[in-house]
């Protein structure tokens, strides 16, 4: 039997997991701006698959349900669960799925608030609470001591991982681990045979130490979409050019150069305090038969849509205005987590914790 291998995001899905913003998080003063984005997101996803929404408590479930009903979002493909959280960035603390050709398993890595930057004890416990309550259909949730966020890695489904050196080797996450030790751990728990290390590239305002989902993403085992900056005066230009040049040296598992698809960098978006926010089209979400594109009310939104349409022929490209989301330094992919086919059963069989 082959070793379990991390399932790629472009594989068939049973649903998408979201954590709804709440008053006990940093969203407390901007719920009116961000909640309509979440209703739009839920509406777009349920056209193709289920949505699992993590709510803070039972009262919050009632609030979220009312938000959805008021926005005329059908509830028949939505599951609302009560689990307290620190924040909404479920990509980084939700479970990752592996498959060995016969059975499906979930991996729960440690989440420490991006190297201890933020309080994260509640977020770190979410996957275990959901699994204990029977929310997931799998052959068990495997706990790992390795600190690893879902937004920090991307796979082609064939044993190759794409990641940034700066993030994965950050001393605040797994002190003392070098590339060799980390690669061994990734091979053992995710079936990774090789890691493509990106040594360059950043997005200003991203406080994750360089998550790859802001920079470069697998669209297939042979295609990578990545962020390019054309403006030589922009602070990102040199680093993203170096990243592009490094991507051009990478080959797929068969030794063939990847087909590279350049996504534009949106015009700078700033917070009220004048700091640049992390707007990136690479932070798109893949769902069954569609791609959800983070949009920023920018002329480049349309160019990004055309690029992703070429990367994902036959899939609808659906724009979601993510200006409210980047105000808290993340975007669409950061706020969502795909759940592979087989993880969620029919809604009627769901038991709420």
Domain CATH number, residue 40: 3.75.10.10
Cross-strand partners of 78? 51
Catalytic positions: 334
DSSP character at residue 109: E
- Rounded distance, CA 166 to CA 183, Å? 15
Q: How many residues does the chain have?
A: 353
β-pair type (104-110, 13-19):
unpaired
Q: How many CA atoms lie within 13 A of 88 on its CB side?
A: 30
The predicted structure's pLDDT at residue 102: 86
CB atoms within 10 A of CB 306: 10
Number of domains in the chain: 1
The predicted structure's pLDDT at residue 138: 75
- Cα dihedral 9, 170, 322, 304 in deg (nearest 10): -60
The predicted structure's pLDDT at residue 353: 44
Per the structure, the complete domain to which residue 242 belongs is given by 5-349
The predicted structure's pLDDT at residue 1: 61
The predicted structure's pLDDT at residue 352: 47
The closest alpha carbon to 290, from 342, 327, 332, 227, belongs to: 332
The pair of structure tokens assigned to 46 is 């349920």
**Helices within 161-279 (DSSP H only):** 165-168, 179-190, 237-247
The pair of structure tokens assigned to 234 is 């922009």
Tell me the pTM. Answer: 0.97
**Regions in the chain scoring below 50 on pLDDT:** 349-353
């Amino acid at each position: 039997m082959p070793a379990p291998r991390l399932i790629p995001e472009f594989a068939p899905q049973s649903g998408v997991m979201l954590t709804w913003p709440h008053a006990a998080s940093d969203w407390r003063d901007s719920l009116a701006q961000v909640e309509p984005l979440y209703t739009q997101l839920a509406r777009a996803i349920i056209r193709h698959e289920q949505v699992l929404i993590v709510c803070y408590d039972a009262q919050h479930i009632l609030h979220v349900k009312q938000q959805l009903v008021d926005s005329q979002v059908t509830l028949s493909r939505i599951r609302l669960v009560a689990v307290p959280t620190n924040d909404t960035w479920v990509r980084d603390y939700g479970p990752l799925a592996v498959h060995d050709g016969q059975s499906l398993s979930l991996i729960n890595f440690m989440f420490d608030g991006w190297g201890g930057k933020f309080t994260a004890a509640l977020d770190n416990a979410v996957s275990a609470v959901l699994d204990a309550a029977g929310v997931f259909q799998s052959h068990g949730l495997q706990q790992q001591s390795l600190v690893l966020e879902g937004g920090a890695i991307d796979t082609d489904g064939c044993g190759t991982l794409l990641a940034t050196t700066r993030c994965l080797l950050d001393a605040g996450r797994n002190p003392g681990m070098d590339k060799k030790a980390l690669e061994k751990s990734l091979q053992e728990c995710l079936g990774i045979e090789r890691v493509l290390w990106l040594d360059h590239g950043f997005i200003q305002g991203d406080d994750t130490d360089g998550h790859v989902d802001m920079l470069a993403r697998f669209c297939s085992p042979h295609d990578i979409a990545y962020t390019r900056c054309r403006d030589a005066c922009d602070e990102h230009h040199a680093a993203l050019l170096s990243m592009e040049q490094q991507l051009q040296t990478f080959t797929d598992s068969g030794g063939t150069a990847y087909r590279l698809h350049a996504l534009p960098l949106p015009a700078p978006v700033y917070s009220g305090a004048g700091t640049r926010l992390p707007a990136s089209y690479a932070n798109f979400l893949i769902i069954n038969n569609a791609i959800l594109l983070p949009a920023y009310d920018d002329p480049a939104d349309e160019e990004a849509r055309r690029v992703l349409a070429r990367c994902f022929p036959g899939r609808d490209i659906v724009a979601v205005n993510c200006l409210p989301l980047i105000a808290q330094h993340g975007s669409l992919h950061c706020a969502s987590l795909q759940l592979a086919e087989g993880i969620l059963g029919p809604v009627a069989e769901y038991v709420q914790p």
